[in-house]
Chain A
Amino acid sequence: MSSHGIAEGRPSGGRLKLRRPSSLMGYLMIGPTMVLLVIFSYYPFFSSLFYSLTNWDGIQSVFIGLTNYKNVLANPEWWLSMGNVVFIWIFSVLRVLILPLLAAELLFNIRSIKAQNRYRALLITGGLAVPWMVIALLWQTFYHPGYGLFFQVFQALGIEHLAPQWEGTRWMALTKTMVMGFPWVGGLNTLIYLAGLQAIPNELFDAAKVDGVSGLFQRLFRIDLPLLLGQIKLLIILCTSGALQGYELIMVMTGGNPFRQSMVPGLLMYYKAFVYREFGYGAAIAVILFLLILAITYLNFKYIRSSTEYEASS
């Protein structure tokens, strides 16, 4: 950056000095940021790597090499968790791909702008203006076998013996966590799709019509979906990292029940580290998950990045 400004003398006389900002200013301005990052992000990151190689329990620490990793991989609960993660992942991808996309298409194709904005505002408010914990606790109430909404509906219809036992088995416990929040259209996902749709230039739609693409379904599959690939991939990536690492929801909805069958890796880490104080073991779990995410991201970059990805945004 060169200061080629014309330094005009002020009417009051005297020369103007155009002060170029110094390097020092740059460092000062990023100073707080870097200090905070090092203390709360970088140092902990490398510490985790280090802890995972010890048996640190808050009192004493002995270097034990890869023992923690061996123990994790030999733990049947670990593999149980990974199985649950697969289930959760499939469910979340379905949740994120089908209904929010439908909702975004509906919003996009509504004629009246006022109505579109109104529906959009209602969906956003319903989805984001309420804390996730509130939704979780609310649905916990719905799932209760005595006074829960589901049971009440079955009871009103006279078929209460058919009512689902939401905590009965491993798969029911996982399902109830994933069903929560139906119809899953409130919040960010729908907005992201809508943004993607609005970014498609109108000329494309007109050209398609000229080329004979008629009817909503044809247009949907031949125009919209290919052009939404970017958003779809983003959401799938978020689902993947969420399924691998997420555990707060499971903790609140099932706590790992029944009998730790709905355990997920993150929850295992939480219990091992903060309940049993086995920090080394917990750190090992965190590192393994980190490496998994890294591997998936790498694979995504290398193989799934297709050259036919359409860029609709200008």
Chain B
Amino acid sequence: MRNRQKTTEFFKHLALFTMVLLTLAPLFFMLILSVKSNAQYYQKFWAILPKPIHFEYYSHVWNYRGMGRAMFNSIFVAGISTVGVVFVASLAAYAFARLHFWAKEFFFYMVIMLLMMPGMMTLIPAYLLVTGTFRLGNTYFALILPYIAGGQVIVIFLMRTFFASLPEEMMEAARLDGAGEVSVMLRIAMPLSRPILATVAVLTVLAVYNDFIWPLLTMTDKSMQTVIVAVRSLTSIWDPEFQLGQVQAGNVIASIPLFLLFMVASKYYIQGILTGAIRA
């Protein structure tokens, strides 16, 4: 009886191990292919350590094909947008959760209804607005402002629930001490919401970093491109020194920030999802 349990356990491990292997194998290939020359792609495809190894693809792609600049752009935009979203959305979530003002419900529904809004309905006019009317094309604002506008919806939704669950006595205590409302929010509510803030920050960074169409449309200047757009443009071969390995080198570079993010924050992200951030 014990043996049968041990065998089923073994097969479960085997199955999971296979899944992990299949999921990670492409990434392994990506690393190997990033240092192989074109000839090695065709002739020595299966070699794990190519001779000679071409690390220079990384510096070529970073300096000459714009990945370095793009990396700065992506990280900058993702960082500022996330800070912006957290700031704006926390204020609103706190107000919706704990304050009372006329037409509060109406305004809240205005926010929530946007969860249903398909991106395509806003794309064309937003593009015309940002590049035409506001003339913000090729500036960081063209990315940051819409990201804050869009990202705040889900954040407000999640944080409002959290803020609403806090006991009123804590706020009263702070108010008794003479704190202004914003102070109450900053000193009492926010520190308590660190776990959910972490989840929300990871969600926002992921969404902003991975965004493709909007940066593609609004940033036509190559030096303002984000990493996701830039890495794709690596496949266009105007460069006489083009090597297939460079595309993969670009892929690897593009993956580093998210990889680091997950090293640091995956615990929070997983906890957030598991404890019901999916209460759709």
Contact = CB atoms under 8 A, between A and B. Distances in A.
- Main SS of chain A's interface residues? helix
Given A34-B107, A120-B270, A126-B27, A195 B278 contact: yes
A283 B127 CA distance: 12
- Main SS of chain B's interface residues? helix
Contact of A286 (B12, B123, B258, B269): B123
Contact of B266 (A106, A124, A141, A188): A124
A181 to B, nearest CB: 8
B122 A129 contact: no
A129 B145 contact: no
A32 B88 contact: yes
B49 interface: no
A294 B121 CA distance: 13
A45 interface: yes
Contacts of A1: 100, 168
A248 B19 contact: no
B77 interface: no
A279 B88 contact: no
Interface residues of A, number: 102
A310 interface: no
A30 B107 contact: yes
B80 interface: no
Contacts of B145: 36, 40
B35 interface: no
Contacts of A126: 20, 23-24, 27
Contacts of A106: 12, 15-16, 19
A29 B92 contact: yes
Contact of A248 (B212, B231, B247): B212
Contact of B122 (A41, A146, A191): A41
B236 to A, nearest CB: 12
Contacts of B228: 131, 133
Contact of B212 (A43, A107, A133, A266): A133
Contact of A43 (B20, B123, B124, B129): B129
Interface stretch (B53-61, B110-118, B190-198): B110-118
Interface in B146-187: 146, 148-150, 152-153, 156, 168, 172, 175-176, 178, 181-182
A307 interface: no
29 contacts: A7-B176, A18-B176, A23-B100, A25-B182, A26-B95, A29-B99, A30-B96, A33-B156, A36-B88, A47-B125, A48-B122, A102-B15, A106-B15, A109-B12, A122-B20, A126-B20, A127-B23, A128-B206, A129-B255, A129-B261, A131-B210, A137-B232, A138-B29, A142-B29, A195-B278, A274-B217, A286-B121, A286-B124, A290-B120
Interface of B: 8-9, 12-13, 15-17, 19-20, 22-24, 26-27, 29-30, 33, 41-42, 45-46, 88-89, 91-92, 94-96, 99-102, 104, 107, 110-111, 114, 116-129, 145-146, 148-150, 152-153, 156, 168, 172, 175-176, 178, 181-182, 206, 209-210, 212-213, 217, 227-228, 231-232, 235, 244, 247-248, 251, 254-255, 258-259, 261-262, 266, 269-270, 273-274, 276, 278, 280
